[in-house]
Amino acid sequence: MSSNSKAIILLICTAILWSQGGFLIKLIHWHPVAIAGGRSIIAALIMWAYIKKPKFSWSNIQIMGAVAYALTVILFVIANKLTTAANTILLQYTGPIYVALFSYWFLKEKITAIDWITILVVIIGMTLFFIEKLSPDGILGNLAAILAGIAFGWLALCLRKQKDGSPLESLILGNILTGIIGLPFIIDSGIPSQQSMIALLVLGIFQLGIPYILYSKAVKHVSALDAVLIPVLEPILNPLWVFLLLGESIGMWPMIGGAIIIVAITTRSILYKTKTH
């Protein structure tokens, strides 16, 4: 199996682990920014333990990656607070557009017509997936979600830029920064219940720490666009967890939208495999 194929599998595993977030966050009775800070502190410890001796170069690109990461997770939480979850996820996953726009200038990675068509089809699929829950309300929340999408795109670009080094250090710094920002909210939120603490640990370890380790390994062997397109599978897996754990049914439009997204991403991968053989 090629390095690219292994990286795609790692990205799919990352999306699966990320998708636990929506369900677990509901179990924690804390301020959202406290949750973001708490899980990031745990994730930073997991990443540090994995890498053992992180090399902080404090280069511009390493710091940019850390800031992009912190902005991604914090703006996502703020957006969830100020607008609907559907608006937040749809607008955050505009990230591939910004990656496509800046990939050649920033990384010298060419974006093809197939890439642009895939991005368009994925956005259509995402819109159908959330069409029943989209709302025009919450202008500030929608703005925060758009900014989260820009930050997510830049995170992929910054990590990919470090492909010849170790992008994990940017993620460690980003989690530390998020933890520092969330600390006042953690103190103000008080001691969590046993259920909240267990959910927070699971979030920090399995929804943030481990998947971002996988993500940092994968981004070294795929394009920056792959690094944001394949994880689009994450939001369509969220309802599956809710269905399996809570028994909530999945509507027709989400199933159609999810199918469109899966077909678009799979077709693009097959076309690129065909071109390289």
Give the best-scoring range by mean pLDDT among 21-35, 61-75, 89-103.
61-75
Indicate left, alpha or beta for 138 from its phi (over 0: left) and psi (-120 to 50: alpha).
Answer: left
| Whether the predicted pLDDT of 22 surpasses 60 | yes
Per-residue confidence (pLDDT) for residue 106, from 0 to 100 = 92
Average pLDDT over every residue of 170-178:
96
Torsion of CA 16, 17, 21, 23, to 10 degrees: 70
Q: What is the 3-state secondary structure (H, E, C) of the chain?
A: CCHHHHHHHHHHHHHHHHCCHHHHHCCCCCCHHHHHHHHHHHHHHHHHHHHCCCCCCCCHHHHHHHHHHHHHHHHHHHHHHHCCHHHHHHHHCCHHHHHHHHHHHHHCCCCCHHHHHHHHHHHHHHHHHHCCCCCCCCHHHHHHHHHHHHHHHHHHHHHHHCCCCCCHHHHHHHHHHHHHHHHHHHHHHCCCCHHHHHHHHHHHHHHHHHHHHHHHHHCCCCCHHHHHHHHHHHHHHHHHHHHHHHCCCCCHHHHHHHHHHHHHHHHHHHHHHHHCC
| Whether the predicted pLDDT of 274 surpasses 60 | no
Per-residue confidence (pLDDT) for residue 246, from 0 to 100 = 63
Distance (Å, whole) CA 228 – CA 97: 10
Residue 21 to residues 64, 169, 199, 206, Cα–Cα distance (Å): 25, 23, 10, 9
| Whether the predicted pLDDT of 14 surpasses 90 | yes
Per-residue confidence (pLDDT) for residue 215, from 0 to 100 = 95
| Whether the predicted pLDDT of 171 surpasses 70 | yes
| Whether the predicted pLDDT of 42 surpasses 80 | yes
Distance (Å, whole) CA 110 – CA 205: 35
Which residue is it, tokens 């959910």? Answer: 199
Task: State the pLDDT confidence band at 183, using cuts at 50, 70 and 90.
Answer: very high
Per-residue confidence (pLDDT) for residue 18, from 0 to 100 = 87
| Residues 50 and 208: beta-carbon distance below 8 Å | no
Per-residue confidence (pLDDT) for residue 275, from 0 to 100 = 58
Task: Express each pLDDT in 106-145 by its tens digit.
Answer: 999 999 999 999 999 999 988 888 887 777 777 888 898 8
Task: State the pLDDT confidence band at 266, using cuts at 50, 70 and 90.
Answer: confident
- The whole-chain average pLDDT of the chain stands at 87
| Whether the predicted pLDDT of 99 surpasses 60 | yes
Structure tokens, 238 = 């969220």
Average pLDDT over every residue of 75-98:
82
DSSP H stretches of helix in 83-112: 85-92, 95-107
| Whether the predicted pLDDT of 68 surpasses 90 | yes
Give the residue among 218, 155, 268, 213 at the shortest CA–CA distance from 3. 218
Distance (Å, whole) CA 263 – CA 265: 6
Per-residue confidence (pLDDT) for residue 178, from 0 to 100 = 96
| Whether the predicted pLDDT of 276 surpasses 60 | no
User: Comparing 254 with 125, which gets the higher pLDDT?
Assistant: 125
| Residues 203 and 21: beta-carbon distance below 8 Å | yes
